[in-house]
Amino acid sequence: MLKVGLLGAGRIGQVHAVNIAGHPGSTLVAVSDVNAEAAQALAAKYNAKAASSEEIIANPDIDAVLIATSTDTHSDLIEKATAAGKAVLCEKPVDLSLERAKACLAAVSKTAQPVMIGFNRRFDPNFGALRSAAHAGEIGKAELLSVTSFDPAPPPVSYIKVSGGLFRDMMIHDFDMANFIMDSAPVSVRAVGSSIVDPAIGEAGDVDTAVVTLTYADGRIAVIKNSRRAVYGYDQRVELLGSEGLLTAANMLENTVSKSTVAGVASAKPTYFFLERYMPAYAAEWDVFVTALAEGRPMPVTLEDGVAALAMAEAATKSAKTGEAVDLATF
C-alpha cells in the first residue's frame, strides 16, 4: 500500500485525492496547501492529516508525493521530494522556465527517484487507443498529425499574465501529445498566433488563437491548432494520417440523445472542460503511477518528457514573435 502525501488542495488536488484514496494500492495520508483550511478540510474528508509541504516531504512514512501546487513551485518541490527519497507525480508543466526545468532534471537525475509528469491526456482512453493502433501499424507509417485543442472559454487576463503564455500554458499539452504519438522530437517549429478572441489578451502580450507546424527529420509533419474559446465546449481531437489509413479520436459528448425536428437534428455538445472530459484519464494516470512503482517499472511519462514539451513551447513562443521557423535543436 503506497502512502501518499498530496501537495495542493485546490481543484485539481481534490480530483487527485479521490483517486489516491479510491485506488486499491494507495492511501492518502497527508495534505498540504498554502491555504491551511483547505488542506484541513480535504484531509478530514479522507481521514488524512493536514501538514506543511515541508513536513510531508520530511515524513519518512510517506512513500510518494503528488504535486498539485502552483506551477512556480513545481521544480523546487520535485527537487526536494526526490532528494528526500520520495517518488513524485507532478502536475504539468514542470516549470515556466526551460532553464529552471533543465536544472531540475539535472538535480533529479542524481537521485534514484522516479518522477512522473502529469500529462493526463496520455491516459485518455481515446487518445490511448489511437496511439496504440498507430504504434501497432494499423495505418502503416505515420505521415501527418493534426491536434485540435480548444478551451471552452479564455481564463481571466490576470491569469494570462502569469501563465507563461498560450504555448507554455495550454499548447504544452499538445506538444506532449505530438511527442506521445510521433515518438520523436520535431526538428523545426513554426508558429502563428493572434488575439482575435480577446484584444485584451493581445495587450497582455499573449495570443489566444494559434497554429503551430512541426516538421520531423523523416518528413513527417504535425499541425497543432489552439483556441482559448470554443463556446460549445472542450474540443479535444487528434487525427493521424498514415500510409495505410487515417485514425481519428473524436470528442466525448454529454449524452447520446439526438432530436430530429423540422429545424434539423440536434445532439449533445462535447463535455464542458477538462474535469469532465479527463476525469477517467486522471484515475488511469494514478493507476499507472502506482502500478509502475509497485512493479519497479520506469515511469511512462518522465521529467524529460516535461522538459521536451517545454522546449517546444519556448520555440513556438519565439517563432510566433519573429515570424520565422525555429530550429528546435537550438533549445
Count of C-beta atoms within a 10 Å radius of residue 223: 16
CB of 51 vs a second copy, minimal distance in Å = 22
Stretch that binds a second copy, among 67-75, 81-89, 265-273, 302-310 (CB under 8 A): 265-273
Q: List binders of a second copy among 21-60 (CB under 8 A).
A: 22
Give how many residues touch a second copy by CB under 8 A.
Answer: 73
For a second copy, the closer CB: 40 or 251:
251
Matching residue, cell 485514425: 247
- Among 264, 295, 296, 330, which residue sits at the site for a second copy (rule: CB under 8 A)? 264
> Candidates 67-75, 85-93, 177-185, 260-268 — which segment interacts with a second copy by CB under 8 A?
260-268
Instruction: Find the binder of a second copy among 37, 99, 203, 218 (CB under 8 A).
Output: 218
Contact 91, 118 (CB under 8 A): yes
Nearest to a second copy of 85, 137 (CB atom)? 137
> Could you give the CA distance from residue 129 to residue 313 in angstroms, rounded to a whole number?
26
Positions in 290-329 near a second copy (CB under 8 A):
323-325
Q: Look at the chain and count its residues.
A: 331
**Please, what is the end-to-end C-alpha distance for the chain in angstroms?**
41
Considering the complex, state which of residue 158 and residue 256 has its C-beta at the smaller distance from a second copy.
256
122 with 135: CB under 8 angstroms? no
Site for a second copy in 228-257 (CB under 8 A): 229-233, 235, 241, 243-257
Pull the grid cell for residue 237.
481531437
Pick out residues in 106-125 that bind a second copy (CB under 8 A).
Answer: 125
* 73 touches a second copy (CB under 8 A): no
What is the rounded distance in angstroms from the CA atom of residue 158 to the CA atom of residue 204?
9
Output the smallest distance, CB 296 to a second copy, in A: 26
Find all residues with CB under 8 Å of 229, minimum gap 6, and list them.
150, 151, 152, 153, 154, 197, 198, 208
Residue bearing cell 430530429:
260
Q: Which of 119, 150, 234, 289 binds a second copy (CB under 8 A)?
A: 150
